[in-house]
């Protein structure tokens, strides 16, 4: 499983779907929003939690179609399905590789992006915590969606339509935790709900992903 994870990390970086793409998109959102809504600090501070989480969500969407596409094209997916390693472990490794190349850079860049959107200093820690807890769920859900559409040509749009409704709870609780933290209010409840969503997604979705792959390989 470790070798598979390292292989996926190398493929993600070589194919251009690694941390650079998602991070660049995240920064572009942070730069364009002040240009669109105006430079007023109070307005930016009020909308920053939602904008930051929407930007992170869309950044994670950019590379979802690459998770299984390259393996499907070169025949590696069929070999992985018949390998001694369980297909559920393959799905977990794919989700972990996606998070390491997409979610983790977003977490690291969150303080800087928060400054660009005038997020109050007391909300920065909550932003980092919410992204660290929530982005693994985005990767696990996205991996499941990629498995559902792996057999379809040009399934990127369908993948987005399938995944976005599943992302909504993570988006809502993540943005709410940051908004409460930035306002100086207790934010533990939405953060715990976010952690629960991530725990459930990481525990259950590898099995659903493996089942979807088996169906598409028949």
Segment 37-87, tens digit of pLDDT: 887 878 888 899 999 999 999 998 888 877 887 777 777 777 777 778 888
By residue count, the chain amounts to: 218
* pLDDT at residue 16, rounded to an integer: 55
Residues 6+ apart with CB under 8 A from 123: 48, 49, 114, 178, 179, 181, 182, 183
Alpha-carbon 111 to chain mean position: 17
Higher per-residue confidence, 218 vs 18? 218
**pLDDT confidence tier of residue 18, bands split at 50, 70 and 90:** low
- pTM score of the predicted model: 0.90
| Dist CA 95 CA 204 (whole Å) | 12
pLDDT at 155 over 70: no
Half-sphere exposure of 24 (CA within 13 A, CB side): 8
Per-residue H/E/C for 151-175: CCCCCHHHHHHHHHHHHHHHHHHHH
Q: Are 80 and 216 in contact (CB under 8 A)?
A: no
- The pLDDT tens digits of the residues spanning 157-187 come to 788 888 999 999 999 999 999 999 999 899 9
- The pLDDT tens digits of the residues spanning 81-117 come to 777 888 898 899 889 988 988 899 999 999 999 988 9
Alpha-carbon 44 to chain mean position: 24
- Mean pLDDT over each residue of the chain, to the nearest integer: 87
* pLDDT at residue 1, rounded to an integer: 66
Name the residue ranges covered by the structural domains of the chain.
2-217
Residues 6+ apart with CB under 8 A from 215: none
**pLDDT confidence tier of residue 196, bands split at 50, 70 and 90:** very high
- Mean pLDDT, residues 193-197: 96
| Dist CA 26 CA 149 (whole Å) | 25
Alpha-carbon 175 to chain mean position: 14
- The pLDDT tens digits of the residues spanning 123-153 come to 999 999 999 999 999 999 999 998 888 877 7
């Amino acid at each position: 499983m470790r070798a598979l994870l390292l292989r996926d990390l190398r493929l993600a970086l070589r194919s251009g779907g690694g941390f650079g793409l998602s991070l660049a998109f995240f920064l572009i959102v942070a730069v364009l929003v002040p240009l669109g809504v105006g430079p007023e600090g109070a307005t930016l501070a009020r909308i920053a939690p939602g904008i930051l989480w929407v930007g992170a969500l869309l950044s994670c969407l950019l590379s979802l179609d690459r998770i299984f596409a390259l393996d499907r094209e070169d025949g590696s997916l069929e070999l992985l399905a018949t390998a001694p390693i369980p297909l559920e472990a393959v799905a977990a490794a794919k989700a972990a590789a996606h998070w390491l190349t997409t979610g983790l850079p977003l977490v690291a860049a969150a303080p800087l992006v928060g400054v660009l959107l005038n997020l109050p200093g007391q909300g920065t820690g909550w932003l980092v915590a919410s992204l660290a807890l929530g982005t693994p769920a985005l990767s696990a859900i996205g991996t499941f969606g990629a498995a559902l559409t792996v057999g379809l040509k040009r399934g990127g749009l369908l993948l987005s339509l399938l995944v976005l409704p599943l992302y909504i709870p993570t988006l809502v609780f993540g943005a709410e935790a940051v908004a409460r933290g930035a306002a100086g209010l207790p934010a533990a409840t939405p953060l715990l709900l976010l952690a629960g969503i991530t725990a459930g997604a990481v525990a259950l979705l590898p099995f659903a992903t493996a089942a979807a792959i088996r169906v598409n390989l028949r």
